[in-house]
Each structure stands twice: as structure tokens, then as C-alpha cells.
Amino acid sequence: MLHLASRSPRRSELLARLGLAFGVLDLDVPEVRAEGEPPEDYVRRVAREKAGAGLLQLAGQREAWVLAADTEVVLDDLVFGKPIDAADAARMLRMLAGRAHVVISAVSLVSAARELQVVSKSVVTFGELSPAVLDWYIASGEWQGKAGAYGIQGAAQVFIIHLDGSHSGVMGLPLAETSSLLAQAGMWP
């Protein structure tokens, strides 16, 4: 049985597009970047830790597989996680405005006997953001709970002038890479 270790409705929606039955695990795994840890290593580690925590929660279920993901927005060497408040969200978006940044999504799939992982990197370019547009977006509240203070699937689409990579990866679960992992585990065609 497949279980998704995520509270994200976007990840559940994306995984459901593959037509698989799965359970959802509610986990609270700390997402803290270690000092000097490269952004990709950090994202990989967090995805692996979420999957491992999910597997521990299912201890005793021999056929259990746990899928977990982590997605972060990276500009230069700065990792933009979820903003703590509206001011933090506005700060992040001002830094991203008019620039290209990388969205890294790591996906881990684990069972008691096997561990698989894949990483998706996408380059997202924002146009300039006027103060009025920034105020409009912050007032919408859509930034809440989203790495980098935006979701590609929502109103923030108006910011994006170019995407090189995976749309679903920027949403939080790169489907091409995820389906490949599931195929390796014998759960998808």
C-alpha cells in the first residue's frame, strides 16, 4: 500500500492524477537547513527524513511504501521556505522580482527494504513586481504555507514570465520523476 507523507493538498491532488490509491500520513518533520548545507542536499535530506518518519509510523506493515517530497525556492545560496508572516512574504517576493530562481523538489520513496530518490530542478523567472501588485498578492493571503511565498498554480502565475522545467515540480511533486520512481517500485506502469 502506498502512503503519501504530506499534509499538502497540492501533493495529494498531483499524486491522485496518477490514478493510484494511497493513504495520507500527517507528519511533523522539522525543516531546518544545517549551517553550510548545500540547498540540494538540504531538500534531499528533508524528503528522505519525511519518508523515513512515515515508514516508522507504519511500523509492522510489511507491504507499506511511503512517498514524501520537499520543495524549496533557491535564489543564489538562499533557501526561501514558507514565510512566517506577510512582511516576510513581501520580502521574499521583492527579492525574487525581476530575477530567475531555482525550485528544487526532491521525492523519496521508501519501503522496509528499499529507498529510491529523485530530484527535479526548475528555473522560474519572475517579471518586475510593482508595489501595487505586491500589495494585491499579499492581501490575497495565497502566499501562506508556500515556499518562496508563492504557488505557481494560483494568482502568482502573473509574476512568472518564464519556466524552464517541471510545472508540477514547482507545485511540489514533479509527476514525471514521481511516476518513474513508482514504476521502479512496481506500482505504476
Catalytic residues: 70
Q: How many CB atoms lie within 10 A of CB 143?
A: 25
Distance in angstroms (rounded) separating the CA atoms of residues 166 and 171: 9
Asked if 23 contacts 2 with a C-beta cutoff of 8 angstroms, the reply is yes
Strand partners, 71: 105
Q: What is the Cα 186 distance to its own chain's centre?
A: 24
Strand partners, 102: 74, 123
H-run or E-run covering 49: helix 39-57
Distance in angstroms (rounded) separating the CA atoms of residues 80 and 1: 33
Strand partners, 101: 124
- CA-only gyration radius of the chain, Å: 17
